[in-house]
Structure 1
Amino acid sequence: MFTVDTLRSLLEPFGQLRSQSPSEWTGQSDLPAPIADFYQQVGPLGHTYYENVGPVGCTLTVGGNPVCIPPLSKLAALQAGYAWSETPAQPLDDWNPNWLVIAEQGGDPFIYDKTTGHVLFAFHGAGSWKPTFFTKNLTTAIGALATVATSYCCLDEDQFFDEALLDSGLQCITDDLANVVGGLAEAQRMLDAWEYEQ
């Protein structure tokens, strides 16, 4: 559905891309092969605004809070507040150890499930983690998010009112997503799982 070249062309406007070796992963568990392949072949690195911070990853403009995909060197640190508290040695009880946050939107995580390969989405601050099924695999998830961002950035001014997305704009985004994920029903299901209404 989404090839490496397609993912690269979709992500390129939202941050620099560079192949990243699995050796840049700093987590304590093994890096799942699909994630290692994604960083090696697609490589969301992002821009460096401050040398002491380093690259910030790809920031997808989707309306409201952006979706942030970190560089591989910062992926392990992204788990803080989800999988563990102050250090990985202090795991949080309500977080499934098979979950790995791969992107976030205003603190709401997109989660890779190591047991199934599925990507889930959850809202933070709900008292407990109850993620919903977003997509069947990592490449579809990233491709869908980047497609929504691309579509959003191409909307006309008359598809907004006071920065809020009008129905016509939402329909354009839904149609663009439908073209790449197998139809309108699947696109709508994914947007509903994400609760995308911007």
Structure 2
Amino acid sequence: MHEATQALRQFLVDQGLSLRTQDAGEWQGDMPLPADIARFYREIGPDNCNLETAGNPFFIPSLSRLWRLQAGYRWHGISGERLTDWHDDWLVVADQSGDPFIFEISSGRVLHDRHGGGTWQPAPLFSDLEQMIACLACFDATWRSAGEDIFLDDFSVNPVHRDRLIDALLPILGERGTAQSLAEEFGW
């Protein structure tokens, strides 16, 4: 495991995320497990993580549950019929109340889209899986440390905590504008 991966894993452990090394044998999919996904679960190992944020929590399943998360995106959740507007190159790796974080197998990027728009038109959000989980963990850490002070009287996020989130995202994303855009994307 690389030093950067070890540091990320320690950061996630310090944030209280449930992690465990997961072997490719836990994969339940009917397609080959992408190498980047196998490495992510082997080295980072999110184990059904719920990460708090303004709004509904982010959810990152264990590897054994990852294939089931594809229902409603890759295939119809009741009939099992393959949905034609879902690309073979996409694999949902996390969600927020039905809004998918989509691993693009060919590029390694993580895309994001909102459900209910009629057709899927996801946009790039993270450069890779590690950046995704690190950023989502920053939302969770900032949320939890803020306590009841998180919202103002009008139920908007307190700017003090929004700024703290942006400061936490900055070393991961590299640019303040990118960190601000990500905070805005998720209601901060």
TM-score when normalising by structure 2: 0.88
Count of residues paired in the alignment:
185
Q: What are the residue-to-residue correspondences of 1:185-196 with 2, within 5 Å?
A: 185-192=177-184, 195-196=185-186
Q: Which amino acid aligns with 1:85?
A: H
Deviation at 1:62, TM superposition (A): 1.3
Higher share of residues assigned helix: 2
Q: Distance in 2 between matches of 1:191 and 1:120?
A: 16
| 8 Å contact kept, 1:14–1:60 | no
2:130 paired with 1:129: no
Deviations 1:112-138 (A, max 9, x none): 001111100100011111111101111
Q: Distance in 2 between matches of 1:124 and 1:27?
A: 22
Deviation at 1:85, TM superposition (A): 0.9
Deviation at 1:6, TM superposition (A): 3.1
Q: Among all aligned residue pairs of Structure 1 and Structure 2, give the percentage whose two residues are the same amino acid.
A: 38
2:179 paired with 1:153: no
Q: Distance in 1 between matches of 2:68 and 2:18?
A: 20
Q: Distance in 2 between matches of 1:134 and 1:159?
A: 24
Instruction: Kindly report the root-mean-square deviation, in angstroms, between the aligned alpha carbons of the 2 structures.
Output: 2.2
Equivalent residue number for residue 59 of structure 2: 68
Moved more, 66-75 or 141-150: 141-150
Gaps of 5+ in 1: 46-56
Q: Distance in 1 between matches of 2:115 and 2:64?
A: 24
Classify the secondary structure of the residue corresponding to 1:165: coil
Deviation at 1:94, TM superposition (A): 0.9
Classify the secondary structure of the residue corresponding to 2:146: coil
Classify the secondary structure of the residue corresponding to 1:75: helix
TM-score when normalising by structure 1: 0.84
Moved more, 105-114 or 175-184: 175-184
Classify the secondary structure of the residue corresponding to 1:155: helix
| Pair 1:10–1:93, CA change in 2 (3 A) | same
